[in-house]
Structure formats: C-alpha cells, structure tokens
Amino acid sequence: MTKRNMEILVGLFVLLGLLALVFVALKAANLTNFSSGATYVLTARFDNIGGLKVRAPVRSAGVVVGRVTSIVLDAKTYQGVVTMSVDQRFRFPQDSAAKILTSGLLGDQYIGLEPGGDDAELAPGANIAQTQSAVVLENLIGQFLTGKAAEAGSTPGPTQ
C-alpha cells in the first residue's frame, strides 16, 4: 500500500511538471491570452520592423488590444506592411499612431497604438498613416561610434 501511494505521488509530480512545461512553452510562443472574440483588421507600413514577429501583441496604454497577424514586404515601396487584428471592443481615432516598441532593454517587440484626438474612428481594414519604425540597437551603437570617431578626428592634436 505504501509503495502504491508513493507511485501515485510521483505520477502526480511528473504530471504537474509536464503541465508547467506546457504553460512555459505557450508563454514563450506568445499563445496565451488568446481571445476568440470579434476583431477587425488594421494595417500599418513601417520602414523597418526590426524583430517584430507574427503573434506579437498590439498594445494601447500597456493593455493588449490585439495581435499582429501578418508581416509582408511591399514590392513597390520596400516597406514592411504589418496587419493587425484588433479586438472589436477597442476603437481608435483616425489620427492614431502606431509604433514598434520593445519590452525592456532587449525584450520582445510589439506594436504600440497611440490614440489621436479625431472624432472619426478607423474603419475595419484601414491603414494607420502615422507610424514610427523600430529602433535597432545596432544602428544606434553604430551612430554613436561614428559620431565619437568624427569628434576625435576633428579635434586638434597637441602641438609640439
């Protein structure tokens, strides 16, 4: 009887471990908080999408209001076209802005929607005109180093 109880406890422990592993996998794949409610589609064009991925969250004021559904390259303008599925409960003004932001210093990227002040709302399928591309850390470091090198080259050296 004691051996059987021990086997049951070990089995429950293994089952809890597997459930925890599934939970972590869903969190890492960004599949949690999936809502199957009514949504509408918005698009936005960016010069650089950085590391933005499909299923990335769309947030407004820090609250998840939707998900990125697709990212494609426009062959004519060479811009990234991001399609978002936004919860029907949240309507945004026509002059809203979309930015690609990063969670923390080196975290995942997401779309941040900043509502404007217009009375008219974005219609389903509308394109968000005001966008801000992703800030790429490597580009910032390169600009900083180039600026420092230019400063070092333009300062007069010691005269003898």
| Tens-digit pLDDT profile for residues 32-70 | 555 567 899 999 999 999 889 999 999 999 899 999 999
User: Tokens 């309507």 label which residue?
Assistant: 91
- The contacts of residue 10 (CB under 8 Å, 6+ apart) are none
Band (14; pLDDT cuts 50, 70, 90)? very high
* Distance from C-alpha of 119 to C-alpha of 134, rounded to nearest angstrom: 28
Per-residue pLDDT, 141: 83
Per-residue pLDDT, 157: 55
- The contacts of residue 129 (CB under 8 Å, 6+ apart) are 95
Query: Does the predicted TM-score (pTM) go above 0.95?
Result: no
Helices (H), the chain: 2-28, 137-154
Are 66 and 39 in contact by the 8 Å Cβ rule? The answer is: yes
| Boundaries of every domain in the chain | 1-32, 39-136
